[in-house]
A and B are shown apart, each in its own frame.
Chain A
């Protein structure tokens, strides 16, 4: 999880939560009848979604889904999905302020604190930044990432445990090694000393 993915996640959360609030405003307090057959209920739900604010809300939802797909293409699902629980921050605050719903704040605040602690744990479990995150944890990625002409270093993979990171890290270490060597050369020549 990099900072930019985290920013994108908040963008999705804002889109989805705004969408929710607009849906709620659009549908209003008028209850959607859910009795009868499941198809009748489905029709009633669809009908309620055609109200103007609900349509805009649904639009926000679609945009949020697009960004979510972008995030999923970069971040492991086991990290990204639990982070989605941060949406409760926006849902609670927006329901209280915009929808003027009554919120029991003692419960809400304890709940939000617990969620933050949980999300922090999930964030800490995310492998360290510096390796390309989208491939982490997937064995297939390792072979995609390995530089041409090099055998996938299975031994290293087993040792470090990070499939994708290994190849990238190997690449990085070669680069740093080269650049430090050129530094050393330059120093030896006496330019940068």
Chain B
């Protein structure tokens, strides 16, 4: 049946998830801890654009764009009810990487509970969209 998970599309999903997550980590690494906001909107925008010249930020944005292309490939092959639960894995990956790479302090009790609820919710939405689409016969 079309839209099922094949090893190839599973691989594509993991590529998309890891590229996207590492992209976010690079963004945060590049931005550091300087608040880009404050002052006028023009000043803020200038600061954001300047921050984008940072190689980490550029790399992060590039990974983000590449992962989007992989998502488009994935979504054209896999049913939403299958793809969405896997998408939510990126939330776990980003939080774990923030703790490991960025040394952010994570309150694991709340984080794991929160992430479990979020991925459950995302999975449900995927199931709902998938069911509605199947009924339409698409």
Contact = CB atoms under 8 A, between A and B. Distances in A.
A110 B25 CA distance: 30
A69 B48 contact: yes
Interface in A70-112: 70, 72-74, 76-78, 81-82, 85, 88, 92, 95, 101-108, 110-112
A92 B35 contact: no
A185 interface: no
A101 B132 contact: yes
B128 interface: yes
Contact of B76 (A34, A105, A114, A119): A34
Contact of B95 (A82, A136, A140): A82
Given A34-B72, A81-B95, 4 more contacts: A78-B102, A81-B91, A104-B127, A136-B105
A66 B47 CA distance: 10
Contact of B94 (A81, A101, A121, A137): A81
A104 B105 contact: no
B35 A111 contact: no
Given A118-B116, A124-B110, A112 B125 contact: yes
A170 interface: no
Interface of B: 24-25, 27-28, 31-37, 44-45, 48, 51-52, 57, 61, 64, 69, 72-73, 76-77, 88, 91, 94-95, 98-99, 102-107, 109-111, 113-129, 131-133, 135-136
A73 B121 contact: no
Contacts of B72: 32, 34, 45
A163 B25 contact: no
26 contacts: A42-B69, A69-B51, A69-B52, A70-B36, A70-B37, A73-B35, A76-B98, A77-B104, A78-B94, A78-B99, A78-B111, A104-B128, A104-B132, A105-B128, A106-B128, A107-B124, A108-B129, A112-B125, A113-B121, A115-B125, A119-B118, A137-B104, A138-B33, A138-B102, A138-B103, A144-B33
A103 B129 contact: yes
Nearest to A81: B94
Q: A32, A95, A111: which has the most chain B beta carbons within 10 Å?
A: A111
Nearest to A114: B121
A125 B107 contact: yes
B48 A66 contact: yes
A103 B104 contact: no
B45 A66 contact: yes
Interface string A34-60: 100000011001000000000000000
